[in-house]
């Protein structure tokens, strides 16, 4: 099983659509979880951290299920500017701050 | 806040030369910096963890004598690709961790695109 596995994508959706990304991780000791977005030929940028209770930031909602080792990201009312690759990122657990990145899921929002 | 810079942003060099990439945390102190490499359409792969004042910790399969890392201060880490070859052509990205009590968020530099001819 890959350390961090994401939907392979790509996703093509119209503006205004709701889109969901799924991610699973294999290291049960992981304690920190993130979604990053990466634009073409740019560095990853933190979109949001993911907490056990679930968290929301505007149109973005992240969920974490530790028992299933599953993370999700929901984007509502998608905008053209949301087009990017979304990376599921997990840390090593304990004092291990090393991050493991999923391969990413490419989202294209069409007018 | 939490801005990380990298220099240069793009390098084209001949095979056999060495290339130095700098990573700086501009508005915070980073005791730990990380160096990643990303090939086209692939995920970021951690190369090494750089701790200020000590030797870097390299991931399995990464040659420490080829990828020299120096973390001389709390705001600067450098990666030197020695005797670069075309297969070293990649996108190199650093990140810095603002180690606070409650977060281990990493902030990424803009990356350095290396092309070895």
pLDDT per residue as tens digits for the range A87-107: 999 987 666 678 889 999 999
User: Nearest CA of chain B to the CA of A31: how many Å?
Assistant: 10
Instruction: Identify any residues that bridge with A89 across adjacent strands, giving them in sequence order.
Output: A34, A101
- Beta-bridge partners for B36: B46, B93
Put simply, the answer to whether B99 touches A97 (Cβ < 8 Å) is yes
- Compute the count of residue pairs across chains A and B with CB atoms less than 8 Å apart: 44
Round to whole Å and give the CA distance between A106 and B115: 25
pLDDT at B91: 96
Question: In a structure prediction context, what are the per-residue pLDDT tens digits for chain B, which is 117 residues long?
Answer: 678 999 999 999 999 999 999 999 998 888 789 999 999 888 889 999 988 888 899 999 999 999 999 988 889 999 999 999 999 999 999 999 876 544 567 889 999 999 999
Q: Which helix (H) or strand (E) holds A45?
A: strand A44-50
Q: What is the pLDDT of residue A94?
A: 62
Pairing of strands A11-14, A105-110: parallel
**Does A42 contact B at CB distance below 8 Å?**
yes
Predicted local confidence at residue B84, as pLDDT: 96
- In this prediction, residue A102 carries a pLDDT of 92
**Shortest CA distance to B56 belongs to which of B45, B67, B41, B44?**
B67
Q: How far A29 CA sits from the closest chain B CA (Å)?
A: 15
A77, burial (CB in 10 Å: exposed 0-12, middle 13-18, buried 19+): exposed
Dist. CA B77–CA B114, nearest whole Å: 17
pLDDT at A98: 81
Q: Which of A45, A98, A101 sits opposite B49 (nearest CB)?
A: A98
pLDDT at A95: 63
Q: Which long-range contacts (CB under 8 A, 24 or more apart) does B40-44 make?
A: B42/A103, B43/A87, B43/A101, B43/A102, B43/A103, B43/A104, B44/A44, B44/A87, B44/A101, B44/B93
CA-nearest of A34, A32, A44 to A91 is A32
Question: Which of the given ranges, A5-14, A74-83, B71-80, has the highest pLDDT on average?
Answer: A74-83
Mutate one of B30, B36, B44, B48 to test the A interface: name it (highest A CB count within 10 A). B44
Tell me the CA distances in angstroms from B106 to A30, A75, B74, one per residue in order: 15, 23, 15
Q: How far apart are CA B54 and CA B96, in angstroms?
A: 16
Cross-chain Cβ contact B43/A97 below 8 Å = no
CA distance linking residue A85 with residue A103, whole number of Å: 9
pLDDT (tens digit per residue) in A13-59: 999 999 999 999 998 888 889 999 999 889 999 899 898 888 999 99
A37 part of contact set with chain B, CB < 8 Å: no
């Amino acid at each position: 099983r890959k350390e961090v596995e994401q939907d392979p994508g790509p996703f093509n959706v119209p503006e205004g659509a709701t889109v969901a990304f799924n991610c699973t991780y294999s290291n049960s000791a992981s304690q920190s979880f993130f979604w990053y977005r990466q634009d073409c030929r740019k560095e990853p940028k933190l979109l949001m951290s993911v907490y056990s209770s679930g968290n929301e930031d505007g149109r973005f909602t992240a969920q974490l299920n530790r028992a299933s080792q599953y993370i999700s990201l929901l984007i509502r009312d998608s905008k053209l500017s949301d087009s990017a690759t979304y990376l599921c990122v997990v840390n090593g657990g304990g004092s291990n701050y090393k991050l493991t990145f999923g391969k990413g899921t490419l989202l294209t929002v069409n007018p | 806040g939490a801005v990380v810079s990298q220099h240069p942003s793009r390098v084209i060099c001949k095979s056999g030369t060495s290339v130095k990439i700098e990573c700086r945390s501009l508005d915070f102190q980073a005791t730990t910096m990380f160096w990643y490499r990303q090939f086209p359409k692939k995920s970021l792969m951690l190369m090494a963890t750089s701790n200020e004042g000590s030797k870097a910790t390299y991931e399995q399969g990464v040659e420490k004598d080829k990828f020299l890392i120096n973390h001389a201060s709390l705001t600067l880490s450098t990666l030197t690709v020695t005797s670069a070859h075309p297969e070293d052509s990649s996108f190199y990205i650093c990140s810095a961790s603002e180690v606070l009590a409650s977060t281990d968020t990493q902030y990424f530099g803009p990356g350095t695109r290396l092309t070895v001819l």
